Chains A and B, each alone.
Chain A
Amino acid sequence: MIPIASVNPVAKLGAGLIVSLFLLATIDWVSATTALVLELAIIAFFGIEPKRFWLRTLPVWLAAPLTALTILLYGRYDGTVYFEFLLIRISDGSIELALATFLRVLAIGLPAVVLFISIDPTDFADGLAQRLRLPDRFVIGALAAVRMVGLFLEDWRSLELARRARGVADRGRVRRIAGQGFALLVLSIRRGSKLSIAMEARGFGGDTPRTWARESPWGQAEWLTLLVGLLVGVTATVVAVLTGSWNLIVG
């Protein structure tokens, strides 16, 4: 089992980006399949509970066939046409493109989700500020905002119930949701300003250079993670080039 949870989130982000760059350069099924097979083999070593894996990656499994279906029906036509109806045209070309797209969405989406399951927002912020040298205020502000999302969800539920209690939940759904959205906005701004007072009162935004309570470690594991990403990308590309299916997307 690979202790992926303890790897610096910036390295995980980097590895995911590297693989994506290689896969976005071309659109063919060979490179995507190669990458996907390698990734699944690696993911198997992460020791994620199967239930958690399927649940978290469910959106990717849904998105991939849907995207592929669209391309199958409307994609570039080439070779034999099997079915035609209005704008719909299924051909050799659209079938191949659909397959390539399906695999590509999986090959980019699955590792992204799996890597991000284990990312802790605080560690990520530490990494962004200490390793990538993004501005403190920006990173910490974003981190505090992320933590408030949970509160917003609770507010949203309360607003919904409160509207029912006030007798106005029977009328048009669209109008109700718009009104509720506005109410949430007002509440969020109020929460946000209280939070910023609390942060300011604790010295945030002062002139003193900030220190960091937590290290954002960077060592062999991080370089290795980036290297694995690079290997997956390069292997997929080499296999595709050798089989002659690699086609660079230009423009």
Chain B
Amino acid sequence: MRGLDLRIEPGERVLLLGESGAGKSTFLHALAGVVGDDEGETEGSLLVDGEHPAAHRGRTGLVIQDPDSQVILERVGDDVAFGCENLGVPRDEIWLRVRDSLAAVGLDVSLDRNTSALSGGQKQRLALAGVLAMRPGLIVLDEPTANLDPEGVTEVRDAVIRVAESTGATIVVVEHRVSVWSDVVDRIVVLAAGGGVIADGAPADVLARQGKELAARGVWIPQYPPPRPVRAERGPQHTLLSARQLTVGRSNHALGAPLELEILSSHALAITGPNGVGKSTLALTLGGLLPPVGGAVVASPALAGGAGEHPIRWKSRELLTRIGTVFQDPEHQLLTSTVRAELEVGPRALKLPDSEVDARVDELLTRLRLDRLAEANPFTLSGGEKRRLSVATALATRPQVLVLDEPTFGQDSRTWSELLALLARLVDDGSSVIAVSHDLDFVAALADSTVVLE
């Protein structure tokens, strides 16, 4: 980003918008004073309280998107105390602040509680408490709710508001989902992709003036919901997979009661339910990747095609044309160093002729708007691009069943809408789609039936 002129007054609550790549995260990191001199070029000046941000260590608090990457210590109390220790706060004062901060973010757990046992929403509130304990004048939040379920989103948003009201701290937040924050902030600033500011003003004004254009760029604007696919007439359905008295779990520890499920062709099934009930584990088990703890996942002859009725016993290569799985974190699935090579992995494993491999890869590159990035390293892609790539890698081998784990987490509205259209077309063309999702809009737009795990 470059050429940005912006002045934020003390106590303001600002929502920062802009399409992917506009440099919002970089700006927040710079505000928090954590952009090193070796990480890119800087021109112009950025001052917090009239000084260089690095001189203000601890005056600016940063909360980032990934809940797991900002938990530092093992016990809740120690984690909150960490920032205070670094600022040299005396011991007695630290524990007063720890208690105050935990109360302010509404995290009512014991100080000895293990931080890895917290839910995503709780971890984000823990991070906020850790920031708060440093008594910052400015709190910057980089998509703090993007990876959370609806309950977690509300928890974190409410905690931020409470903190802002009780401390009077200045708040700068970046988030795609405008509706979460638009009633809470008193100013929206829209950054341009090339640099500079497109719009700046009261939320209602900015959304009225720029809403439509922002929506087209992938920002979630309540008044302009992304388009949903029109569903086609579908052919007859038949069973591809069934779960019989299925219990799932990791290392033989069962999660939840036995399940009976029929997975049909030309059908989209959504799996929802609160955190920790084993939705992802169920998805991996249906995908033939984890063995069932009890009962069985049985493939119909139409799906198995001579490979045996238990997907877990199939060879890895045999899964490719039968059941594709898209993981929650696309980075877990990356194997190569270019987008094109990544798409070739599946078709090559099937030993398809070169011409066929090229044809499939080219088609997917175009269809998922990845053609410009064919030679790019997959790890350098944006969140939305990585998601599209991970779906494309599964589609390259044309599986009859596609399993997806939280495909819309953290996606902008444009990717969301494209993904939905793509999946709807797969279902219309006869495939079966199984999606684990917290995203109620996504479920409503796609699912033919829904299983709620409890």
Contact = CB atoms under 8 A, between A and B. Distances in A.
Given A165-B327, A202-B130, A213-B81, A208 B333 contact: no
B75 A210 contact: no
Interface stretch (A41-49, A71-79, A93-101, A187-195): A187-195
A190 B316 CA distance: 28
Interface of B: 29, 32-34, 57-58, 60-62, 64, 66, 68-75, 77-78, 81-91, 94-95, 98, 116, 127, 130-131, 134, 284, 287, 289-290, 315-317, 319-320, 324-325, 327, 329, 331-335, 345-346, 349-350, 379, 393-394, 397
A247 interface: no
A37 interface: no
Given A186-B379, A194-B64, A201-B32, A167 B316 contact: yes
Given A166-B345, A168-B316, A168-B345, A206 B86 contact: yes
A210 B85 contact: yes
Interface in A138-193: 143-144, 147, 150-151, 155, 158-159, 161-170, 179, 183, 186-187, 190-191
A213 B85 contact: yes
A235 B88 CA distance: 46
A211 to B, nearest CB: 5
A203 interface: yes
A51 interface: no
Interface of A: 120-122, 143-144, 147, 150-151, 155, 158-159, 161-170, 179, 183, 186-187, 190-191, 194-195, 197-206, 208-215
Contacts, number: 154
B70 A159 contact: no
B2 to A, nearest CB: 22
Given A161-B289, A167-B317, A122 B333 contact: no
A204 B33 CA distance: 12
A151 B290 CA distance: 19
A208 B86 contact: yes
A168 B89 CA distance: 53
A202 B134 contact: yes
Contact of B88 (A143, A147, A150, A211): A211
A167 B346 contact: yes
Contacts of B29: 197
A150 B34 contact: no
Contacts of A202: 58, 61, 72, 82-83, 86, 130-131, 134
A236 to B, nearest CB: 36
B87 A166 contact: no
B248 to A, nearest CB: 13
Instruction: Rank and list the top 4 A-B pairs by shortest CB-CB distance, nearest first.
Output: A169-B316, A203-B86, A202-B83, A194-B69
Contact of A213 (B95, B325, B331, B334): B95
Contacts of B379: 186, 190
A164 B316 contact: yes
Contacts of A200: 34
B327 A162 contact: yes
A54 B54 CA distance: 52
A230 B130 CA distance: 42
A122 B114 CA distance: 12
Contact of B284 (A122, A147, A150, A161): A161
Contact of A151 (B68, B127, B287, B394): B68
Contacts of A144: 72-73
A14 B95 CA distance: 30
Contacts of A161: 284, 289-290, 325, 327
B27 to A, nearest CB: 14
Contacts of A150: 116
Nearest to A161: B289
B319 A164 contact: yes
Contacts of A164: 289, 316, 319
A164 B349 CA distance: 11
A163 B349 CA distance: 12
B73 A147 contact: yes
B34 A201 contact: yes
A186 B336 CA distance: 12
Contacts of B33: 201
Given A166-B346, A183-B334, A202-B130, A121 B74 contact: yes
12 contacts: A122-B73, A166-B335, A167-B317, A167-B350, A195-B70, A201-B131, A203-B58, A206-B57, A209-B88, A211-B84, A211-B89, A212-B91
A167 B73 contact: no
A122 B34 contact: no
A194 B68 CA distance: 10
Given A158-B327, A167-B346, A169-B316, 9 more contacts: A158-B332, A161-B325, A165-B316, A183-B334, A194-B70, A203-B87, A204-B86, A213-B84, A213-B94
B75 A122 contact: yes
Contacts of A211: 84-85, 88-91, 94
Nearest to B98: A213
A199 to B, nearest CB: 6
| Most chain B CB atoms below 10 A, which of A166, A194, A203 | A166
A163 B75 contact: no
Nearest to B60: A201
Contacts of A158: 327, 329, 332
Nearest to A199: B72
B85 A212 contact: yes
Contact of A163 (B88, B90, B316): B316
A122 B66 CA distance: 23
B87 A198 contact: no
A165 to B, nearest CB: 4
Given A147-B73, A209-B88, A198 B329 contact: no
A144 B324 CA distance: 36
A208 B87 CA distance: 6
A210 B86 contact: yes
Contact of B83 (A121, A162, A183, A203): A203
Contact of A168 (B62, B284, B332, B349): B349
B111 to A, nearest CB: 10
Nearest to B83: A202
Nearest to B330: A162
A194 to B, nearest CB: 4
Nearest to A204: B86
A212 B95 CA distance: 11
